[in-house]
Amino acid sequence: MTDDHMHPLIGLTCAVLGTVLFGAKAIVFKLALEAGAGVEQMMALRMGFSFPIFLFVGIWSLRSRPIRPKPLMLLLAGGLGIMTYHIGTWLDFQSLRFISAQLERLILFTYPAIVAVLAWMVFGDRMTWRHAGALIFSYVGVIILFGRELSHAGHDVIIGSLFVFGAAVLMAINVTLAKSAIGALGSALFTSMAMGCAALTILVHSAATANAGHMPAFTPDIIMLGVVLAIVCTVLPSFLLSEGIARLGPGPASAIGNAGPVATAILAVFLLNEAFGWPHAAALVLTSIGISLLGTGKKKKTPSPSGQVIKNV
């Protein structure tokens, strides 16, 4: 097979594998909960094992830059990092104590629709029937699965859904506001700065939790799952998706991202013994159609935050 054929094939493999590994995040955290782990504990392990790698990449990126970045852009990256990787992750992980991995992933998957709304509110992007259709399809799908879980698990589902919806809103704010900082710093330095600031606040949060006596013991099983969460579900998919985007372009890579909830559903059924019936299938199809609508519009010379985004978090 020639290099011309291998190039997109490698990109496709990276994008699919990155999507699957990102989708496994909720599965690994659910397994950690079963092992007796706490939310703050898993956040600390995830950041503790993944941050040194991102820090190395960030330092390498900073040293290779001919011009020093502006402090304002560094502060913006740090603030968005605390909002997304600390507060957003806390909300997301808390939600998994109340709802299934499938519902969590589906609600989080809708954040590009929220981006479209924020782009309309903040940047004045025009809302079209395509955007309206995306919102309708996406949230009808979510409501179907939400209703199914509510009838089986009770009002805890409302609490969990509100937690993860809050995480989706913060992710959408991050995507909407991060464009200028990423443009000024580059993605590697932006990610390193965001992860670094989040790591500091997460460690303070975890230390306060431990001092209050609410931190479970660090058993070998919990530490192992923390390593998997950090390396397999955070670091590896980040680099795999970056390589996939570089080889395929953002459009095809974003389309492959639609498989994220499907991958989570398959893993949840086999590893967590979660149920899967017609409400799950209908919710997956409707929400995937809704989010796909956001990537089918006409191309613009200056893309806005409501355009193509990689739907893996």
Does the pLDDT of residue 208 top 50, yes or no?
A: yes
Position with higher pLDDT, 191 vs 43: 43
Residue among 305, 297, 292 nearest 134 (CA): 292
Does the pLDDT of residue 256 top 80, yes or no?
A: no
Task: Please report, rounded to a whole number, the percentage of residues in the chain having pLDDT higher than 90.
Answer: 45
Residue 61 belongs to some domain of the structure: yes
Angle at 78 between CA 174 and CA 106, to 5 degrees: 30
Position with higher pLDDT, 310 vs 219: 219
Residue 298 belongs to some domain of the structure: no
Residue 302 belongs to some domain of the structure: no
Q: How many domains does the chain have?
A: 1
Q: Mean pLDDT, to the nearest integer, of 153-175?
A: 93
| Mean predicted lDDT score pLDDT of the chain | 85
Does the pLDDT of residue 198 top 80, yes or no?
A: yes
Q: Are 290 and 144 in contact (CB under 8 A)?
A: no
Separation between Cα atoms, residue 50 and residue 52, nearest integer Å:
6
Q: Mean pLDDT, to the nearest integer, of 45-70?
A: 86
Residue 190 belongs to some domain of the structure: yes
Position with higher pLDDT, 31 vs 126: 31
Separation between Cα atoms, residue 177 and residue 195, nearest integer Å:
16
Domain assignment of residue 167, given as a range: 3-293
Residue 246 belongs to some domain of the structure: yes
Residue 306 belongs to some domain of the structure: no
Residue 309 belongs to some domain of the structure: no
Residue 18 belongs to some domain of the structure: yes
Q: What is the pLDDT of residue 304?
A: 44
The per-residue pLDDT for range 257-303, each reduced to its tens digit, is: 777 888 899 999 999 999 999 999 999 999 888 888 876 654 444 44
